Structure 1
């Protein structure tokens, strides 16, 4: 779980990373919050604009256009490497995307193929539009690429995320191609280097149709009963990560505790989920039962077996 940074903290994070930031009008209060929730946030999404000319690009991203009101992002990264802040809060940039991708972002692991559009990305991602025609020929100047790296680094550093929390629009929504022509492997390596983390491995081949995760109830219960007493962060059952990712998206578990260890923090988060369903007393002890787990899976795209 990560509540969005305040507008002032967002601005400080960008400037602290050495970015040239331009504040456009009333950016900090310009948003679409009246249309839906903003947060919890889980990552940063990068786009291209299919426009030419910095002033025109910034104006479109701030105001929007017929059928899609602005802001269309939080910041516009122009070809000169400047970051123009045009809005803050809910913005019309991500649209509906794949729940499997969201779970992977939360878990900070390699992304599956995006083949669904059912989850509200405007709620969960910071968005940055980059001035580029998106035809695969328009160049990406070094100053602009460096700014993309620093934007991703700034927000990862603020929230304690790693480079896997920075994704492209094409990773999120079927049919999208942006940011086209950008060397994404290089971007991620440079973010990792700035963050001081390990260089990300080459992405694994993506399945054509990702399968829904399956959580084994008996193994999950065993982890819940044994992990709290274990030292360190043992990953005794891989399905714990699936459940923790769902609890993060429910706003019940901080993302930094989504580590595969069903410890006391995860027990408290699952107990809160049980209470949300109406359970009380020993029925809300944080140890999963089939009914509560099935309901969590129905909301977050995994199946349950005994």
Structure 2
């Protein structure tokens, strides 16, 4: 099954997932944000990607697409999984279809762009005049969901509308917002080519090493999940955590040494085996993590190596008495658990983001190692002991 979340995207899940109408063919809908009105004679400064993400995760959530895409840097934020409807289309009662749901998938992309925007001193009349960075990655992921590489109503080249209810209901492929029946927007005006390899040569760093065919060398590109890199050459504690979890699950056959903090071909091959065990195939099983498979492997998504004393205290007081595997601030707990495992105080299999009884006992052992006794070594993290563990194992501590 394809990944429901675009590999490498920043995830801001809005919730409120809803199924699509499966009797219609799969579609992708092309939008631009068109948040300012500029002209050739009066260009305006580009409205930033961060501003649009903030809008769609705040007051604009009722109009949110699946993807918010920065065509200048390749950054992408995803707000709904691919198999849910999103909300960027009008769907009035008189429409024969629920437009946001009219397909096996109806994946909607908002490019952060308006005509004649000025970016770093240069004016861009059309979306296709931008670098279109990251387009290949988005296109390949949408194709994995069965959306054909065709424009049933023609590739957009201007801002005129062309709407045909019969074509909309019967033909899968790519549609401009200007093509959707019972809508009044005429964007995007242009869109990158659907031909393979049509993305900008200025692809973002996460795609500087495109994935090779499955019968050749292991994939050598990186993605960023929750702000941390994964894939060939990535470094950090999260790489070690993935490798150890793969070994614990029985997917470590390609390691000759390790796992360690640098992602090698062996990590890629082991992760590909794990993806295949989940039923993924093709590029979705190339050995580079997606958010969904990573969450299933670890039970949490690793984050930057900063933990809060108050969060750890809350977890230590809540998780042991909750149901098995309950996670309070799981990403931060996992950082501390990995540190305790590296200190030889916790078995690796219990590095799971849940501050359960074994983690509590391990932290109490750390407190005793720090010289605390009796009630001061109760397993509840304190400022001093947590700062000492962070200093020993390379993570920062806040209040």
TM class, shorter-length: 0.3 to 0.5
When the two structures are superposed, what TM-score results if normalisation uses the length of structure 2? 0.32
Q: Per chain length, whose mean CA-contact separation is higher, i.e. which structure has more relative contact order (CA < 8 Å, sep 6+)?
A: 1
Kindly indicate which of the two structures has a greater share of residues assigned to helix. Answer: 1
